[in-house]
Structure 1
Amino acid sequence: MYKKLQYVLIILSLAVVIFLSMESLYPHLPGLMGGSQQTFMIDQTKGNVKNELLKLAEAHHVSFAKRFVLPDAKAPEGMSYTYEQIGNVKLPSYLPIQKSQKVIKESPDTTNYVVVGKGYTAKQAVSDLDKSGNHALSFSLDNTFTVLRYFISEPPLWYIFLILLFIYITLLLAEYVSVIKKDRDRAFSRVYQEASCF
């Protein structure tokens, strides 16, 4: 009985933690550089880099999402992250489009970009941009510790995790006590049978 309850609790715990983790991390996704996204930063430009990016996007059937970071009191960390689509591939929902043409026109090209599409990497984009006289750097694709930091910084997730851990430990102790009782009953039964033989 307790074994079944443990298995059910483990499955439910994993489902709850995964769901709440995704709910908690989703608002931060637009600001995460790296991870599963192919990202790079242009820190020096030569000429019209947007035209160069459009040519690369058309040639490799991808889009580039140019990132804008703006102060926003309502957003996580007090900053909002929006993007301009450069190319024909539609941006995913977690890369919200910047709708203000004023922001787009006034923002410099020296910022971060996300490659949207398959078959073309950030390193390839950096190499192609460098060849045309620009200077860019690709980001590491390992965002493990960043995601872990967001998980640790969310107290509700910790509370739920501790509650589930407490329940699991309680079930383990209950099973242990049950096993001890069964062993004791068997021992008493054996002693009783041996005594009755005399």
Structure 2
Amino acid sequence: MLLHKPYGVLSQFTPEPQSRWGCLAEWVPIPNIYAAGRLDADSEGLLLLTDNGRLQQRLTDPRFGHWRQYWVQVEGCATDRQLDQLQRGVMIQGRLTRPATARLLAENETQTIGDRQPPIRERRSIPTCWICLELREGRNRQVRRMTAAVGLPTLRLIRHSIDLMDGDKHLSLEGLDPGKWREVTRTEDHRLQRLLSRPATNR
């Protein structure tokens, strides 16, 4: 099933002792399913939940290199040079990130984004903008580290979609409000099953 994970929720069904964050069990009352991949508690967006261990492993194994699309609100107005840096790769934690795609979100796209609860911090003297960033790797807090490396601190981070296979349709947040979930369609389930027979990509 697909969940639009809200801000402030861990990508797990068991709460952390003495944590200020909530957990998935507060939003999805279904036993014996797990998150295939993670989003930090302070991030939002698409999370695939499954009881299929092979599928969970396939979606999180870096050898398979699934594209993930993030909508990122950053502090400042992104320039062409900064977007080019994000695409070519930046150095984080001593390693260069893999080539990515980066562009400014169009106005009609940003109009579909609802307010976050609680709202982000804003400074009147500093403008913000939204970037669409697509990655094929998932290092620890990578999007936030990448935008910071080019001088654009992340204020809000939403995973919008996950591509299952090159040239195939993706799973996305469309039609899902924060905190809502749905079962995958028959077509989506068929694509997920085909994914299990796909060979690993060369890295």
Q: Which protein has the bigger helix share?
A: 1
How high is the TM-score relative to the length of structure 1?
0.29
